[in-house]
Amino acid sequence: MTRRGLLIILSSPSGAGKSTLSRRLRDWDPSIEFSISATTRPPRPGEVDGQDYHFRSLPQFKHMVAEGEMLEHAHVFGNFYGSPLPPVKTAIERGCDVLFDIDWQGAQQIRNSALKDNVLSIFLLPPSIRELHNRLVSRGQDSAETIAKRMEKSWDEISHWDAYDYVLINDDLDRTEEKLKTIVSAERLRREQQPGLLAHVRRLHAEFEETT
Instruction: Please state, in angstroms and rounded to a whole number, the distance separating the CA atoms of residues 58 and 123.
Output: 29
Element (H, E) at 73: strand 70-76
Residues of the chain where predicted confidence (pLDDT) is lower than 70: 1
The pLDDT of residue 1: 59
Query: So where are the chain's domains?
Result: 7-211
Q: Give SS3 for 154.
A: helix
127-131 CB contacts, 8 Å cutoff, 24+ apart: 127/169, 127/170, 127/171, 129/154
The pLDDT of residue 174: 97
CATH for the stretch 7-211:
3.40.50.300
pTM of the predicted model, to two decimals? 0.84
Cβ–Cβ under 8 Å, residues 142 and 151: no
Q: Give SS3 for 29.
A: coil
Residue pLDDT, tens place only, 48-60? 999 999 999 999 9
The pLDDT of residue 71: 95
The pLDDT of residue 93: 86
Burial class (CB in 10 A: 0-12, 13-18, 19+), 18: buried
Q: Which residues, at least 6 apart from 157, have a Cβ–Cβ distance to it below 8 Å? A: 11, 12, 13, 14, 103, 104
Instruction: Please state, in angstroms and rounded to a whole number, the distance separating the CA atoms of residues 53 and 205.
Output: 50
Burial class (CB in 10 A: 0-12, 13-18, 19+), 206: exposed
